[in-house]
Amino acid sequence: KPQDQYPPFRFGTVPNGSTERNIRSNYPEMHSHMVKYNQKGVEDALNSLKTGKLDAFIYDAAVLNYMAGKDEGCKLVTIGSGKVFATTGYGIALQKESRWKRPIDLALLQFLADGDTQKLQTVWLTGICRNEKKEVMSSKLDIDNMAGVFYMLLVAMGLSLLVFAWEHLLYWKLRHSVRKSERLDFLLAISR
């Protein structure tokens, strides 16, 4: 809980916007703590961050990435690698049964598939500070991330099969010679 920290974690947003509404409806306890740190606007919030009056500012990711990229002195950073925790997105309004719906849908899908949105973000939203950002990257565990563990498991299984085969061969070869010398106990001790 932010209020349990000492000194308390100071974060806010711009009041009466979609960000505040989202936090108020989904995280009421968090909202009640942050109300006293809310800012009049984005510029005020960024100045409060730079002067230490605010520890964090929650707002639209595209705006924050743009402002952090254009910040003189590069004193601001956004966290989360561009991932957002509450997506509202943007939409295009059309008349019902519009003849433009399908062409616009297809154009937007092609735009996303070609990576044009990423190119636009790189060109327009990332400013002079892009090279100075240091972020910790995280990703979900999937088969690509876990491949090394599976390879090690396969190697261990292969080695154990080799040791098993070696012990078995050793037992079969020494069994006849040990029977002649009546030292079967010695052989049993080795195989265990």
What pLDDT sits at residue 124?
63
Which token pair is 158? 């292969």
End-to-end alpha carbon distance in the chain? 56
Share of the chain above pLDDT 70, in %: 69
Structure tokens at 48: 């409060």
Q: What is the pLDDT of residue 60?
A: 82
Tell me, what's the pLDDT at 92? 67
Q: Average pLDDT of 59-68?
A: 82
Residue 123 confidence (pLDDT): 64
pLDDT single digits (tens) 100-144: 788 888 888 887 888 877 776 666 666 666 554 455 556 667 777
Which residues, including other chains, have CB under 8 Å from residue 149's CB and lie 6 or more apart? Answer: none
